[in-house]
Structure 1
Amino acid sequence: MERTIVPEKGALDADHLEMVLDETARGVQSHYVPVTGEEKALNKRVNRKLDCFVLSLLALEFIFCGIDKTNIGFVATSSFPKDANLGPDAIPHSLSLFSATYVVLQPVMVVLARRVGVKYFLAVQLVLWGGLCMCHAAIRNSGTLIALRLLTGAAEAGFTQIGNYYMSTVYPKAELAWRVGLFSGMYSIAGAFSGLIAYGLLKLETPHIHGWQAVFLLEGGFTVLLGLLTLFVLPRRLATAWFLTGPERAHALYRMEVDLAGTQEEADVHSTVVTQRDVVDVVTDWKKLGTVLCNVTSVLPVTAFTTFLPLVVKGMGYSGNDATLMSAPPFIAGVIGLLIIVRSSDHFRERSLHTVFGMLLGIVGCIVMAVSDQNALRYGFSYVCMTGVFVGGPLLAVWLAGNTPWKGARSVMLGVNGWSNVAGVIAGQIFKDKYAPRYEVPLIITICIMVAGICGLVFIRFMYQRENRKRAAEIATWDAQRFAEESASQVRRGDQRHTFMYGL
């Protein structure tokens, strides 16, 4: 059935408009796809420059976000607990308390970053948490450790979600998962680098400085330098990107309009405010809030293993610095698995089942680590586990961003998604010293939580499919006037509009 439609902003050419209408009629979410050879070449140039100046900087910052967050786990196998006069379970408790500020402040930080400007906000964040990381070198008791972890959690709050939000405003949906995967994969790289850096620096012992102090000073200092670099490199908005030519900026903006055809309005394109309606739209959307809850189950093993994997590996027969060194390679497997799965996710334009597949790999790895009596086999399956568990966080963030086209609501939604880091609190309470050296009980609890998350994701996917079919059947009877009325509706906006199809 042929249809005509009056596009709200009149910005789409005939080829792209026909593509959007066809996908909507089939109940499939619309995506920007370059049509001509010239457009494909221009699109590649834009992506190449964005990858070079935006993605690479954010990825490097995420490496040091992960390093500064997890280095306390790597120095735990050194003389740090003794030199710093730490009590029993001080390090697990510090992880939970880090999450107490880190998790609670997530939505506030993302909204503030949207209001102030991501480049300025990130610069301040990196300088603050880098400086606090350096202060860890002066820890002499459990109270100081707890205070610094609380402050560091507050300083780092929202970084991941701010990065995800920013990239969702410069990359089309079909090209976003790969970039978010590269960005998020740096957390896994951070685990490997942190282990390798810690292994080297922990051997540095002089009359004036301990190895663990060198770890905190070096890693925190480099983070401060990255914060200063952010001010000069990261563009405030896509429309003012200094590294793009005029035609490239025009194309970069145009493809985002195509990607959000019929769901975005001029009032939201350049706005930096977050309204009460943005908040209400988020807190009343049970499917998206359910996705956040499922995200807790997917990031739990990530949060646990990036801090406690050296201790788990230690229970496999390794000791001291060797445990730190042997815990690094599984993180490399995590990066490789993440990149393969997110590339497939972009290719098939599918998020939920790819997330489920990654979680299933994590479950298989955890089962063997929990029940096997062979340490070599347990260590081998830590690779299997890590190959899958890093997938959930980035893919579910992309899923939420793609299904929240209104930018004000998207910033709130991704901020709320940051609450999934409550998994850090859970991990800190599960992986207690009393379960060492095998940690069977924490691993079994982790498996049960991930199974519940998989069931939730499958159900939410089914409900989105059902809604898409309902909307496709409804708009099949519409004429041009009805389409125009929907595009101008003040009652419904963004994904609430019946012309919007949810991504799966």
Structure 2
Amino acid sequence: MKDFKGDLEVELHDNLSEVSWSEAEERAVRRKLDWHLVPPLTLMYLLCFIDRTNIGNAKIQGMSKDLDLSGLNYNYALTVFYIVYILVEIPSNMALKRLGANIWLPVLTVAFGGVCVGTAFVKTFTQLVVVRILLGITEGGMFPGTSFYLSCFYRREELLLRVGIFASSASMAGAFGGLLATGLTKIHSWGVPGSKLYMWRNIFFFEGLFTIFIGLMVPLMLPKSVESCKFFTDRERMIAITRLAKENDADDSHKVTKADIKAAIFNINIQFCAFGFLCANVAVQSLSLFMPTILNQMGYTPISAQLHSVPPYFLACCLAIFVAFLSDRTRQRGIFLVIFAAIAAIGYAVIMSTNNPKTKYAAIFIIAMGGFPNGPGFLSWGINSNAGSRAVASAYIMSVGTVGAVISTWTYMEKDKPGYKKGHAINLGFQIAVIALAGSCVLYCQWENKQRAAGRRDGRLVGLSDAEKRKLGYRHPDFRYIP
């Protein structure tokens, strides 16, 4: 509590167990955190996802022709981004812990905004690959960094809804991206000779410029820690600090060990969630990167394709937030994943089986609404399934899940247009895998909970000290999985 000064700090340190508060007081603390943290973090991740996927909007507005994105070139440009993205997640979080999330996340935002602006000036395919690599370097730390930052302010049972809200901005990015692309491509050619900006170049330039502006403003809004929140009264600050300290007990200074990593990797539930996240991520990322192209090949003009991409994303965003809320309220995870993966699978089956543009467009609605809620669902389920290091569990799940993004860049190939049936079939297969993984995980959770209730895991406690028993984490006989 080194950031909090004054008598209150001493009181909290010495009398932690004696501090109490009403539910109304804690609700007021939570409400202030929601108003001051969630909106700026959601906005930054929204811009992060827009700057990542606006290449899909730019592709059908002349970028493909100008930079020769024929054959596999477009897929290569998408792939390099995600490969670098995976590699920088851990180093980026190390920098975040050193500098503070309130500084590092805005720094990343300004950086990927600058890369987006730079993309407006690329002249060749090689230059495009270079800026996509730079974009992966600057964006790789945003999702894990934001998740970690939120976990420093919210209790565990409060975290999923907040992560769900900021993660849902991925679908909202598609809606805003389509609207912005529609307006920005109508700006007439402008700029100096040799570097004229027009059509697709305007998309990158103005979206990147706005991102930089937001990145410069956000540090004024984000606190470094609970102790430094200026929007709290002294009483509210005490409650905010103590409720987290009571929950975390003596583990606040716990350092990640090899045992934590081993425990996460060999937790079967985390494996279910990691590979479920991978499968779900294929649909989310491929839809984000290729929807404008798919719509364009269905017969829509470039401008019309941008506009028609907005409604499916908007509904998907609203539904993702609602599902996160409902999952928290009911303390159920797997059943929602099974249901919505099945909905997405139906959408892919429909879009493969018809040539009618209106039916295909309706199928895109079904795919978006079924696919987008599942990523945050698997991530939160995995964290709930690990009573040890949440950081290790979430990092592992996200690392494995990002492999799904790499796969997504190769689902829709130029040679498969206009129907892209192979790409739809690949995504259908991954949705079926999501159903199988989520359903199997539910059955395992229910079976294992029954074994523990019957006392069949009590032998793990024999001969252990109290400290050793606490270190058992999810293997402790009293631990119960959320199905």
Change over 3 Å in CA distance of 1:206–1:245 after alignment to 2: same
Aligned to 1:305: 287
In the alignment, is residue 410 of structure 1 matched against residue 410 of structure 2? no
Which of the residues 284, 294, 297 maps onto 2:266? 284
Aligned CA RMSD, in angstroms, stands at: 2.8
Q: CA deviation at 1:270?
A: 4.5
Name the SS of the counterpart of 1:132 in structure 2.
helix
Aligned to 1:421: 402
Change over 3 Å in CA distance of 1:487–1:463 after alignment to 2: farther
Give the Cα–Cα distance (whole angstroms) in 2 for the partners of residues 88 and 475 of structure 1.
Answer: 58
Which of the residues 49, 52, 62 maps onto 2:35? 52
Q: How does 1:384-395 map to 2 (within 5 A)?
A: 384-395=366-377
In the alignment, is residue 456 of structure 1 matched against residue 450 of structure 2? no
Please list the CA deviations of residues 476-501 of structure 1 after superposition, one character each: whole Å capped at 9, or x if unmatched.
999xxx89x76532772443433332
Q: How does 1:259-338 map to 2 (within 5 A)?
A: 260=247, 264-266=248-250, 268-270=251-253, 273-338=255-320
Aligned to 2:5: none
Name the SS of the counterpart of 1:431 in structure 2.
coil
What residue ranges of structure 1 are gaps of 5+ in the alignment? 1-8, 15-35
Give the Cα–Cα distance (whole angstroms) in 2 for the partners of residues 227 and 275 of structure 1.
Answer: 34
In the alignment, is residue 205 of structure 1 matched against residue 188 of structure 2? yes
Q: How does 1:338-353 map to 2 (within 5 A)?
A: 338-353=320-335
Aligned to 2:6: none
One-letter amino acid matched to 2:41 = L
Moved more, 102-111 or 370-379: 102-111
Moved more, 427-436 or 161-170: 161-170
Give the Cα–Cα distance (whole angstroms) in 2 for the partners of residues 134 and 386 of structure 1.
Answer: 29
Which of the residues 209, 224, 232 maps onto 2:212? 224
One-letter amino acid matched to 1:351 = R
One-letter amino acid matched to 1:466 = W
Change over 3 Å in CA distance of 1:257–1:388 after alignment to 2: farther
Change over 3 Å in CA distance of 1:213–1:257 after alignment to 2: same
Q: How does 1:101-116 map to 2 (within 5 A)?
A: 101-116=84-99
Aligned to 1:175: 158
Give the Cα–Cα distance (whole angstroms) in 2 for the partners of residues 284 and 476 of structure 1.
Answer: 17
- Alignment check: 8 A CA contact 1:174 1:349 kept: no
Q: How does 1:138-217 map to 2 (within 5 A)?
A: 138-208=121-191, 209-217=197-205
Aligned to 2:239: 251
Change over 3 Å in CA distance of 1:298–1:78 after alignment to 2: same
Aligned to 1:497: 476
Please list the CA deviations of residues 194-239 of structure 1 after superposition, one character each: whole Å capped at 9, or x if unmatched.
1110111111132532122221121112222332333232222223
Q: CA deviation at 1:12?
A: 6.7
Give the Cα–Cα distance (whole angstroms) in 1 for the partners of residues 18 and 336 of structure 2.
Answer: 33
User: TM-score normalized by structure 2?
Assistant: 0.88
Aligned to 2:420: 439
Which of the residues 235, 238, 242 maps onto 2:223? 235
Moved more, 115-124 or 391-400: 115-124
One-letter amino acid matched to 2:143 = T
Give the Cα–Cα distance (whole angstroms) in 2 for the partners of residues 13 and 253 of structure 1.
Answer: 13
Give the Cα–Cα distance (whole angstroms) in 2 for the partners of residues 12 and 369 of structure 1.
Answer: 59
One-letter amino acid matched to 2:450 = R
Give the Cα–Cα distance (whole angstroms) in 1 for the partners of residues 190 and 207 of structure 2.
Answer: 21
One-letter amino acid matched to 1:456 = L
Identity of aligned residues (%): 26
User: TM-score normalized by structure 1?
Assistant: 0.85
Give the Cα–Cα distance (whole angstroms) in 2 for the partners of residues 475 and 244 of structure 1.
Answer: 47
One-letter amino acid matched to 2:410 = Q
Name the SS of the counterpart of 2:220 in structure 1.
helix
One-letter amino acid matched to 1:100 = I
Please list the CA deviations of residues 246-292 of structure 1 after superposition, one character each: whole Å capped at 9, or x if unmatched.
3223323444456x4xxx442x3155x43333333323333313311
Give the Cα–Cα distance (whole angstroms) in 1 for the partners of residues 165 and 212 of structure 2.
Answer: 22
One-letter amino acid matched to 1:44 = R
Aligned residues: 463
Aligned to 2:112: 129
Name the SS of the counterpart of 1:193 in structure 2.
helix
Change over 3 Å in CA distance of 1:251–1:494 after alignment to 2: farther
